[in-house]
Amino acid sequence: MRSAYAVNPLLRWFHQLGSPPYFHAFATRWMPWFGFAALLLTAIGLYLGFVVAPADYLQGESYRIIFIHVPSAWMSMFIYALMALNGAIALIWRIKLSEILFLSCAPIGAMFTAVTLITGMLWGKPTWGTYWEWDARLTSELALLFLYFGVIGLASAYEDARQGARAAAVLALVGVVNLPIIHFSVIWWNTLHQGDTVKLIGKSSIHPSMLWPLLILATAAKLYFVFALLLRARGTLLEQERAKHWVRDAIGERG
């Protein structure tokens, strides 16, 4: 009887990816492609969003901040979900690579959350007349930033790094409850923040000339995330496995 790995190549690939030498080779091979694609799509998206797209009839030019703000906001939640998933895998199955990916997600997610909050403030002033309001969407996004800081802080607070990672994973899993709060806050409460403009199901209330740059920049943000995640994870892996033969072989080969 053939094993599941022989039947399903995707499953086999996932299994192989858990091996540090394989992951190192994969990251080294694909990182430049992800980085280049992210850079190219960012350039195209910024040109379409900041030069080609027309000004909004109500908000004028300042609405263009959505081309940075919205992809960052999506990424801040997506990365948290992925971080918590890796944290759960690391907690349950003690897979080293999942632990590394979990810890590598946190600073990138914190960066996207900070971009979301700052660009939101810069959009809020000309649109609402204020940089900040303690409404449900803004407050729950700020809570997300504190959760990322909590995960980073807790992971480095223990002398035993693996014990720190496990404590941080528990915090990350508890914090998942904040994700639906962020997403549905504009529906559940009467907030200053506008409702969803781009919808996965149903018609989006945004003109295609504005939607396309937004989607291109959202794809660029995803590709950037993969690039940054591979960079961080590869560095941590090399640090942890520096005494192993495969590290010497890999560095000896590639310099």
Partner 1 sequence: MLDWLEMQGHWGYITTALIVTALLIAADLIPPWLRERRLRAQIRARMRREQG
Q: Which residues bind partner 1 (CB under 8 A)?
A: 50, 60-62, 64-65, 68-69, 72, 107-108, 111, 114-115, 118-119, 122-123, 125-126, 131, 224, 228, 231-232, 234-235, 238-239, 242, 247-248, 251-252, 255
Report how far residue 93's alpha carbon sits from residue 100's, in angstroms, rounded to the nearest whole number: 13
Minimum CB–partner distance for residue 28 and partner 1 (Å): 11
Helix axis angle for 208-240 and 66-93, nearest 10°, is 40
- CB nearer partner 1, residue 13 or residue 131: 131
Residues 6+ apart with CB under 8 A from 244: 20
Minimum CB–partner distance for residue 61 and partner 1 (Å): 4
Report how far residue 182's alpha carbon sits from residue 135's, in angstroms, rounded to the nearest whole number: 11
- CB nearer partner 1, residue 25 or residue 181: 25
- CB nearer partner 1, residue 72 or residue 86: 72
- CB nearer partner 1, residue 32 or residue 180: 32
- CB nearer partner 1, residue 33 or residue 131: 131
Give DSSP secondary structure letters for 213-225: HHHHHHHHHHHHH
Minimum CB–partner distance for residue 147 and partner 1 (Å): 17
- CB nearer partner 1, residue 88 or residue 152: 152
* Sign of the torsion angle spanned by Cα atoms 133, 138, 139, 145: negative
Residues 6+ apart with CB under 8 A from 230: 27, 30, 31, 34
Beta bridge mates, 60: 56
Name which of 65, 79, 76, 72 is nearest 121 in CA terms. Answer: 65
How many Cα atoms sit within 13 Å of 96 on the Cβ side? 13
Minimum CB–partner distance for residue 238 and partner 1 (Å): 5
